[in-house]
Structure formats: C-alpha cells, structure tokens
Amino acid sequence: MKPSAHALVDIGANLGNKAFRDDLPAVLQRAAAAGVHDVVVTGTSVGASTEALALARTGDAPVRLWATAGIHPHHAKTWGPRATQSLRELCQAPQVRAVGECGLDFDRNFSPREDQLACFEAQLELAAELGLPVFLHERAAHEDFYAIMQRWRPRLRAAVVHCFTGDERALLRYLDLDLHIGFTGWLTDTRRGQHLVPLARRIPASRLMLETDAPYILPKNVRPTRERRNEPALLPHVLAAVALARGEPEAEVAAASTGTARAFFGIAAP
Ligand SMILES: [Zn+2]
C-alpha cells in the first residue's frame, strides 16, 4: 500500500460485516497507513449497530472509529417500537454520530415497502428528536424518498445520501434540499457508474464526502487481485476517481471532503 499524504474520513464502512471477522486489526492498520484517520462504521440493524458501537469503543485502534445506529431498509421488517427504543439507547453513546443507515430500497425489496416507509420515518423522527444527522440509503426509490425528505428536512440537523448512484435530476433535488452526498467507488464502474462522472462536478465541496461502503463496491481502479473485498485502505482510490471527475487536484478534494465530513459528524481534527 502506497503511503498517502491525504488525511481522509471514510464516512461509511461495514466493519462489523463477517468479511472482516478474521483480520480487522490488519484492515485498520492498512487504513491508517493509507491516510484514513477516521472511519464511521455503518449500523444496519439493531444487532449490527450494537456491534458498530462496540468497535467504536475500542480505544486502541490505529484509526479513530465512530458509529451510526440504524436499520437498513433491507431489514425494515424487523422494525418495531422496541427497535426504535434500542436505537435511542445506542444513540446516547458519544461514539454514535448519526442515525442510519435508513431509507428506501425498492430495487430489491427485501422488506415490504410499507415496512420500509414506517421504519424510515421512525428513524427520521428519532434523528429529529435527538438532533443527530442522518445517514441515508436510497435505491430505485427516488420519488417516495424525496417526498419524505421534503417533509422532514426542516426538522433534521443534517443528512447525507450515502453511496449516491442516482441521476442528475435526483442529485439536483437532493442538493436543493440541502442534503450532503456520499460518493463511493460506484463511479469507477464502467458498466453502471459512468453517469456519475459528470455529476461529481455538480456537488459543492461543502456537501461532498467520500466512503468505501466496504466490504462492498470494490473500486474498479484498484489493480485486480484475488481479493474481491473492499476495505477502508482503498478510500484513496475513490478520492482519485472523484478528483479526476471533478478536474481538481486530489489534495484539494481530500482536504475539502475531510473538512466536510468532520463538520457533518462533529469529529474534531486529530
Ligand atoms: Zn446503503
């Protein structure tokens, strides 16, 4: 791994995923060596959020770990008042910096749409109540998602559409709502991500953040190895692709996105 001069924040990594069960300490060492100073560990269910918080409480990691607490739309059918109460309790921990990931996924509909809508709104309510930012997931659900966010945005401190993969109209509507945008290695995908390349320039630096979404979405500009797993140490590849798309130096995009992420999650510089 080449050393990186750029201090980065990975705003979304699923480090509780079983893909990292055997070698998380080495994964974190590589992240630190790659310049990734902070990783926000994504919570996708009550169980996964509990695990994300446990990781974030590990004091001796070579990178600083933070957590989100939420229920992914895929798991919306597990939602109920008890789950909201569990999330509320997790959010009391100072390491939990956002509610989510939450939102709508009508691409795969692993949970019924009615469950997704109820689970999503319950988490927006919780974020509004607690004054926490929201970490959002939207896939093939722009119209419903946008209508809900239009209603809720005034009550929310801040919100990021993580792993944005939508079209120009969706992007401009999200920016109009004063939402932040998270970019992963999706734009390096020559088959399904090329529409994002011109859109990368349309995002003000103060709203753009970088993430790996590890272990998913291995950037295609990583030299292929046997390893198909994405990890936070590969965030510089997302940076490189976004900087190229924006026509800006990597150092500039790194500094801006890191500053934006620190402000969004309330993370002080180390
Ligand atoms: Zn997601």
CA atoms within 13 Å, Cβ hemisphere of 165 = 19
Residues 12 and 162: their CA atoms lie apart, in Å, by: 8
The pTM of this model reads 0.96
Q: Is the pLDDT of residue 1 over 50?
A: no
Which tokens is 21 given?
């069960």
Cα end-to-end distance, the chain, whole Å: 22
User: Could you tell me the distance, in angstroms and rounded to a whole number, from the CA of residue 266 to the centre of ligand 1?
Assistant: 21
**pLDDT at position 226:** 65
What burial class does residue 3 get, using C-beta atoms within 10 Å of its C-beta: 0-12 exposed, 13-18 middle, 19+ buried? exposed
Residue 5 — very low, low, confident or very high, per pLDDT cuts 50/70/90? Answer: low
**pLDDT at position 270:** 83
User: Could you tell me the distance, in angstroms and rounded to a whole number, from the CA of residue 36 to the centre of ligand 1?
Assistant: 20
Residues 256 and 175: their CA atoms lie apart, in Å, by: 17
Over the stretch 81-123, which tens digit does the pLDDT of each residue have?
999 999 999 999 999 999 999 999 999 889 999 999 999 999 9
Which tokens is 159 given?
């919100």
Residue 228 — very low, low, confident or very high, per pLDDT cuts 50/70/90? Answer: confident
Average pLDDT, the chain: 95
Q: How far is CA 32 from CA 37, 91, 246, 250, in A?
A: 6, 26, 26, 18
Residue 244 — very low, low, confident or very high, per pLDDT cuts 50/70/90? Answer: very high
Which tokens is 81 given?
């008042």
Q: Which residues pair with 10 in a beta bridge?
A: 39
Q: Is the pLDDT of residue 268 over 50?
A: yes
> How many CB atoms are closer than 10 A to CB 257?
29
Domains and CATH numbers, the chain: 8-265 (3.20.20.140)
User: Could you tell me the distance, in angstroms and rounded to a whole number, from the CA of residue 162 to the centre of ligand 1?
Assistant: 6
User: Could you tell me the distance, in angstroms and rounded to a whole number, from the CA of residue 213 to the centre of ligand 1?
Assistant: 8
Residues 90 and 93: their CA atoms lie apart, in Å, by: 6
